[in-house]
Amino acid sequence: MELLSKIKFVNDDLKEDFYKLEKGDSAEKELFKAINHALDELEKNAFSGIQIPKRLIPKEYKQKYNVKNLWKYNLSKGWRVLYSIFAEEVLVISLILEWCNHKEYEKKFNY
């Protein structure tokens, strides 16, 4: 099943950090391109990522963002985009929570 969505960042700081990557060093520019590609895919299909079981959703996300579901979109070199899907009127939103490398991801999910 495919579901079109609109991309939103959880806050303006995260959105600014994303656009700063575009002007950074070569590694940051590469990460910007990878995240940008992921966002394009999420616009086409909010279910492009992998759903994380509800029991594994970090309390931080539940408390800070009132997240009811959590998804990850795998990027190259162990990076991930973490996002939540919700409906706003008749519009489906993919809310970008953060991106992290594999080590940070494992720490956050206690792997």
What does the pLDDT look like over 33-90, one tens digit per residue?
Answer: 999 999 999 999 999 999 999 999 999 999 999 999 999 999 999 999 999 999 877 6
Q: What is the pTM of this model?
A: 0.82
CA distances from residue 7 to 27, 102, 104, 109 in whole angstroms, order as listed: 23, 23, 23, 24
Residues 6+ apart with CB under 8 A from 14: 96, 97, 98
The domain total for the chain is 1
Question: Helix axis angle, 12-21 relative to 26-44, nearest 10°?
Answer: 120
Which of the residue ranges 8-12, 65-69, 74-78, 92-96 would you say has the lowest mean pLDDT?
92-96
Q: Which domain holds residue 13?
A: 6-108
Classify residue 1: in a domain, yes or no. Answer: no
- Residue 48 contacts residue 42 (beta carbons within 8 Å): yes
Classify residue 72: in a domain, yes or no. Answer: yes
